[in-house]
Copies of this chain bind each other. A is one copy, B any other.
Amino acid sequence: MKNEKKPQIPLVWQAEPSKAVSDALSPHNRAVVDEFARLIKAGARETVIKAVRRLPPPVMVELFVHLPLKRARKLTSWLDKPQLRVIAELNPSFRAALLDDVAVQRLVDVLDGFEPEEAADALDDLPEELAEQALPRLREREAIESLRSYGEESAGSIMSRKFVAVPLDWTVGQVAAEIRSNAEAIEKLYAVNVVDSEQRPVGYLRLRDLLLSPPETPVRAVMQTDFVAVGPDTDQEAVAQLADRYELSVVPVVDGDGRLIGRITPKQLRRVLREEAEEDLNLMSGLPADSRPDQSIRRIVRGRIPWLLVGLAGASLSAAVVGAFEEQLAQAAILASFIPIVMSMAGNAGIQAATVAVQGLTSGTVTFADLGWRLAKELAAAFVNGAIAAAVLIVLVLVVAQFIVIESPVILALTAGLALLSVILVAVTVGATIPILLERVGIDPAMATGVFITTGNDILSVALFFLLMMSFYL
């Protein structure tokens, strides 16, 4: 303590309840973060711990998010167990970055404060070795291992095994008493499940029904019966879609015999939504589904090289196509200038069409049955766009021909324009159909949309361009 500089500003987070707090930090709070960062860097452990203890949990989350990662890691190593609980609230990628080089015992301290499904999640995001070391020492080891035994991204692996279920023949008063007597254990209460004698769900009680009904009301009379449940093997994406469609906050999970075994909480549902969106984006960009900015260099290399090599194989085919027209190129080297144009336009037009198709497949607005109709519409739009782009290109070539010597510039311009239009039509056809066809045969369309469609369109566009040039220009 002796060597600690006195804090420059009082470490008080400004959060007047009557003020709107937006995502941006207020200048005051920015200064608080900077002061914390300075004190952490200076090693002023006791001052920092004392100050952090005064912060309400959401403010601690805010502090963690805004501290530089290095300082946040240091803070993690200093905090008391109860305060470490807030780490469960952090964004999973950020949390993994924070924990991935922490000491094993500290990791155990952190995870022991989590709900089992949160701990299972967090372990999934950590390096295998670290997870293996921490797991046997965890307090809720058994529950966590059971969650981890379900397939990755399955309902079973993300469910919470804590829920409230009451028998069908109870009254509202009995339910309220039961909840009251278990108040300690029930941290988050969203709904009360009603089950039959076999522990199979038959309905649920909304909290408002409990509040609004006289105690002697039979559960049977006020429970909601229109509900859905999922099996533990249901894919998490399907769970999120179901929740969305039925406007569920919580999704019950039942085993093969229909017995209630868990529930998926709103927090987990939101996490799934975010994760699935990230996965789609990653797959479309030729990245592994789970790639994150904080990965080690080795993981970055391993994640990206497969798609780069697939891309290289495809590009070599494009190169072979160009090579096949070497004679024509020697005759008119200017043709090479058009290679970047047809390739990049095919790429852009193809990705536009593919992205719309992928999003439509995800949201359910595009189905296999629509294929023909969608393609017709896409092609009509591509024809207009292609014609506009072709017109621009024709003018461009004619203008350039005023300044440099080009043989038969008008024919070249018209042929290039025709080539551009054809290339865009082909690229849009590929982009609009491939995702739908892949979904049909059970492959994630997002994966294909990235490197495959782009590479395919590269090859097609170069071939088409040279064939048209040979037919009309040379």
Q: Are A293 and B356 in contact (CB under 8 A)?
A: yes
Q: Chain B contacts of A450 at CB under 8 A? A: 351
Q: How many residues of A contact B (CB 8 A)?
A: 153
Q: Are B293 and A365 in contact (CB under 8 A)?
A: yes
Q: Which of A184-230 contact B (CB under 8 A)?
A: 186, 189, 196, 198, 200-203, 207-208, 210-212, 225-230
Q: Are B297 and A389 in contact (CB under 8 A)?
A: no
Q: Are A286 and B244 in contact (CB under 8 A)?
A: no
Q: Which of A2-10, A138-146, A454-462 contacts B (4 or more CB under 8 A)?
A: A454-462
Q: Chain B contacts of A68 at CB under 8 A? A: 369
Binary interface encoding of chain A residues 223-255 relative to chain B, with 1 for a CB under 8 A from any of its CBs, else 0: 001111111001000100111111101000010
Bound Cα distance from A307 to B365, whole angstroms = 24
Bound Cα distance from A68 to B330, whole angstroms = 54
Binary interface encoding of chain A residues 412-430 relative to chain B, with 1 for a CB under 8 A from any of its CBs, else 0: 0000000000001000000
Known: A249-B249, A322-B336, A393-B312. A189 touches B208 (CB 8 A): yes
Bound Cα distance from A285 to B449, whole angstroms = 11
Copies of this chain in the oligomer? 2
Select from chain B the residue with minimum beta-carbon distance to A260: B18
Select from chain B the residue with minimum beta-carbon distance to A198: B18
Does A281 sit within 8 A of B, measured CB to CB? Answer: yes
A159 → chain B, closest Cβ, in Å?
A: 12
A232 → chain B, closest Cβ, in Å?
A: 9
A401 → chain B, closest Cβ, in Å?
A: 12
Does A301 sit within 8 A of B, measured CB to CB? Answer: yes
* Interface residues of chain A: helix, strand, loop or mixed (majority): helix
Q: Which of A162-191 contact B (CB under 8 A)?
A: 176, 179-180, 183, 186, 189
Does A29 sit within 8 A of B, measured CB to CB? Answer: no
Q: Chain B contacts of A201 at CB under 8 A? A: 17-18
Q: Are A286 and B352 in contact (CB under 8 A)?
A: yes
Q: Are A230 and B340 in contact (CB under 8 A)?
A: no
Does A99 sit within 8 A of B, measured CB to CB? Answer: no
Select from chain B the residue with minimum beta-carbon distance to A274: B273
Q: Chain B contacts of A202 at CB under 8 A? A: 17-18
Q: Which of A384-423 contact B (CB under 8 A)?
A: 384-385, 388-389, 392-393, 396, 404
Q: Chain B contacts of A305 at CB under 8 A? A: 384-385, 388-389
Bound Cα distance from A93 to B292, whole angstroms = 30
Binary interface encoding of chain A residues 80-98 relative to chain B, with 1 for a CB under 8 A from any of its CBs, else 0: 0000000001110110010
Q: Chain B contacts of A189 at CB under 8 A? A: 207-208, 211
Q: Are A211 and B200 in contact (CB under 8 A)?
A: no
Q: Which of A74-129 contact B (CB under 8 A)?
A: 89-91, 93-94, 97
Bound Cα distance from A196 to B18, whole angstroms = 9
From B24, B307, B366, B380, contact of A348 by CB (8 A): B307
A186 → chain B, closest Cβ, in Å?
A: 7
Q: Chain B contacts of A294 at CB under 8 A? A: 360, 365
Does A277 sit within 8 A of B, measured CB to CB? Answer: yes
Select from chain B the residue with minimum beta-carbon distance to A449: B285
Select from chain B the residue with minimum beta-carbon distance to A462: B340
Bound Cα distance from A348 to B226, whole angstroms = 48
Known: A211-B211, A294-B365. A285 touches B326 (CB 8 A): no
Q: Are A297 and B377 in contact (CB under 8 A)?
A: yes
Select from chain B the residue with minimum beta-carbon distance to A176: B211
Q: Which of A327-366 contact B (CB under 8 A)?
A: 327, 329-330, 333-341, 343-345, 347-349, 351-352, 354-360, 363-366
Does A439 sit within 8 A of B, measured CB to CB? Answer: no
Q: Are B21 and A230 in contact (CB under 8 A)?
A: yes
- What would 24 A/B residue contacts be, using CB atoms closer than 8 Å? A18-B201, A19-B258, A20-B229, A23-B238, A58-B228, A62-B245, A176-B211, A180-B212, A249-B249, A273-B277, A277-B280, A277-B281, A278-B359, A285-B354, A286-B348, A304-B385, A307-B352, A309-B388, A311-B348, A312-B392, A318-B344, A323-B334, A326-B336, A329-B336
Other than the given A23-B242, A284-B285, A309-B388, 12 more pairs (CB < 8 A) read A17-B200, A21-B228, A21-B230, A22-B230, A68-B369, A189-B208, A243-B270, A292-B360, A311-B344, A312-B392, A319-B341, A326-B337
The 10 A-B residue pairs whose C-beta atoms are closest, nearest first, are A277-B277, A293-B360, A18-B258, A318-B340, A20-B231, A285-B355, A300-B381, A23-B238, A56-B226, A207-B207
